[in-house]
Amino acid sequence: MWLAGEYFKIEGKGIGSVAMQDTLSTLEAIALFGQDSATREVHLRIAQHEEKIYLDLGTPDWQAIEIDATGWRTIDAPPVRFWRPDSLRPLPYPVTGGTLAQLQDLLNVDEAGWTLIITFLLFCFCPNKTYPVLVLSAHRGSGKTVAAETLKSLIDPGKAPLIKLQGDTHKLAVAASRRLLMVYDNVGHISADQSDDLCRIATGFGYSTRTLFSTDEETTFEFARPQIITAIDSLVTRDDLADRVLMVQLGEITEQQRLPQAELTAKIEAARPRILGALLTALSQTLAALPSIKPERLPRMADYAKFAIASEQALGLKAGKFLEVFDTSRETARAVVIEASPLAEAIVKLVEATPLVWKGTASQLLQALESHTDDATYRSRFFPKSSNSLSRQLNRLAPDLKAVGIQIVFTREGDKWTRFICLEKELKISSVSSVSSVGKPKGSQSQDLNTADLTDDTNGITDDTADLTDDTDGITDDTDDTSSALNPNIVSGRSTVPQGFHKKTDDTTDTDDKNLNSSNRLERKKFHQANVARFNVGDRVKAADPYHRRGDDLGVVKKIEGDFYSVEWESDRKCYRYTADELEVIG
């Protein structure tokens, strides 16, 4: 179009198609083979060069904004080259004197939501990164669409700013190649393939297809883009996408707050130059603080997390606010994943019903999960039907279940190197110092813990009187005494029988167990207590079974709960419960 316009200025008429094609071919040859030809990378809207970020304003004069740690400025000839698709629209010229509070007033969010939105928007100015996905969810009439349009207008205004989430990867790639910020409006469902595409776009998307009207030529798309999704429901149910999501719940707009569309648009347009100036100022201050930021921990999407931590002072947030809000957002996203997964819910119920650690093969786990799932769910296509399908889903759900205290471990044991699945419930011990054994005799340690042990609701152990006076209620310690042998879901130290089954001897039957009288049960209880009370808080222990997944790992007894010992392992500093038979003292 530029060439046609220049020809018209000189000749006063339009250029013919043959002359146009000849001229374009000549210019292409000069660019490729001329003496002064040079290959340069072109960028869409933003670029980085020598520790500086450049923002294409999209104006006819091709001016750009240069941002570095010292500030921002408008320049006429940036050292980088930009390209502009037909859908690109100009940004306003930024001015000083504005504040980010003006943007916050336009968005219907609380403090936590504002923290995620403003750090996300600021990170959108950083090119070639792994970006999070911002999800704005709310009831209808809560301003989701307007909020998304406002955010896009501050960094990448263009035609059709809000688009549909495509199910066709090719169409999605074409749309992303022409937009810096992707905004999908009113998304009602995200399929598995769409979820994978969203993750690829966030991390760096490579897509190739055959070039039209050719046999062996290929067109390739390569890019990474920040993305915004607006939806009514929390629809991100795939674990890989959920790990990249920033969940923001918008509040309800009251009738007193609601404005006519024309008035709201005019208000946003009037504030855009000052808001953009405030964003650029915050970006410059963040770039200045970034080299000195050395956080103790970084979650997934480390670049974004470090950048957001560095921006806290520039954005007026208190130190540590971002990680606090970010962790809450991830917990919310993981809760949605677990609630949406029938397998995850069944595993949670199974672990809650298992006192210690469930251990068995994949086939045995499928059988055990059947009793914790209704028939319709168990037979649905979402519930695994084979061992391979179960293992794949467990691998995907492992990080989300670990976040709620359920550890999934795959081991191989025995002569045939059988593959076992262990479901361990992690204990949360609030104060290790309260049960410390430093400076106390061993006898006093058990005495200090006696009251807590007897009143702990989780140990499932009642006193001797209940055991002796009730022969029919089934609440006796002989059930706990033989739990390792009778309960196929509990790991038993030294056992060589697969944990999904119970091996009975010729002289032991279920009837014998049911007919035990009170005196026999009391003798067995005393015998059991004499054998299990052989560790104290602070003792160093290891797994008694050489084939246990802990192997040669060493641990320390941190708490005694009736017949169970909470052991903190040195390898990962996590606590799990065991019976005395499963442990062996060191030294």
- Residue 195: what residue type? S
Phi, psi of 250 (to 5 degrees): -80, 145
pLDDT in tens, 384-408: 988 888 988 898 898 888 888 888 9
With tokens 């949670």, the residue in question is 348
Asked, for residue 128, whether it belongs to a domain, the answer is yes
Domain boundary residue, one of 409, 425, 441: 425
Q: For position 417, which CATH number holds? A: 3.90.1150.220
* Sheet arrangement for strand 133-137: 182-184, 227-231, 133-137, 245-249
Angle between helices 387-403 and 342-353 (to 10 degrees): 70
pLDDT in tens, the chain (587 residues): 788 888 898 989 998 999 999 999 998 898 888 877 788 889 999 999 999 999 999 999 999 999 999 999 999 999 999 999 999 999 999 999 999 999 999 998 999 999 999 999 999 999 988 999 999 998 888 889 999 999 999 999 999 999 999 888 889 999 999 999 999 999 988 988 999 999 999 998 888 888 887 777 888 888 899 999 999 887 888 888 888 999 999 988 888 888 888 999 999 999 999 999 999 999 999 999 999 999 988 888 899 999 999 999 999 999 999 999 999 998 888 888 888 889 999 999 898 888 778 989 988 999 899 888 888 888 888 899 888 889 888 988 988 888 888 889 888 887 778 889 999 887 543 333 333 333 333 333 333 333 333 334 434 433 433 343 344 343 333 333 433 333 444 443 333 333 443 333 444 444 444 444 444 444 544 444 444 446 788 888 888 776 566 767 788 888 887 777 888 888 777 788 888 877 888 86
Which residue, 309, 299, 401, 396, is CA-closest to 349? 401
Angle at 405 between CA 294 and CA 304, to 5 degrees: 30
DSSP codes joined into one string, 415-477: TTTEEEEEEEEPB--S-SGGG--TTS-HHHHHHHHHHHHHH-TTS----HHHHHH-SSS---H
Residue carrying structure tokens 């039957």: 509
- 346 and 330 fall within a common domain: no
- The verdict on residue 45 lying in a domain is no
Choosing from 336, 352, 373, the residue where a domain stops is 336
- Strands 81-82 and 71-75, by their bridges, are unpaired
In a domain, 354, yes or no: yes
Q: What is the biggest distance separating any 2 CA atoms in the chain, rounded to whole angstroms? A: 115
- Report pLDDT digits (tens) over 150-177: 999 999 999 999 999 988 888 999 999 9
Q: 136 with 170: CB under 8 angstroms? A: no
* CATH number, residue 457: 2.30.30.30
Same-domain check for residues 199 and 252: yes
Query: Is there a domain that residue 375 lies in?
Result: yes
d(CA 36, CA 53): 27
- If asked whether residues 354 and 472 sit together in one domain, one would say no
Cα 136 from Cα 120, distance rounded (Å)? 12
Taking each helix axis from N to C end, the angle separating 302-311 and 321-340, rounded to the nearest 10 degrees, works out to: 140
Rounded to the nearest integer, the mean pLDDT of the chain is 80
- Other C-beta atoms lying within 10 Å of the C-beta of residue 427: 18
* pTM as predicted: 0.69
Tokens representing residue 522 in the block: 């009391």
- Residue 137 shares a structural domain with residue 160: yes
Range of the domain at 5: 1-39
- Same domain? For 21 and 165 the reply is no
In degrees, rounded to 5, the angle at the alpha carbon of residue 479 between the alpha carbons of residues 450 and 556 is 45
Q: What are phi and psi of 75, to 5 degrees?
A: -130, 155
- Give 275's DSSP letter: H
Query: Number of folded domains in the chain?
Result: 4
The answer to the question of residue 58 being in a domain is no
Q: Would you give the distance in Å from CA 280 to the centre of its chain? A: 29
- Angstrom distance (rounded) from CA 586 to CA 555: 10
Instruction: Tell me, yes or no, whether 119 and 21 share the same domain.
Output: no
The β-bridge partners of 566 are: 559, 577
Residue 418 β-bridge partners: 413
Cα 543 to chain centroid, rounded: 33
Residues 126 and 254 reside in one and the same domain: yes
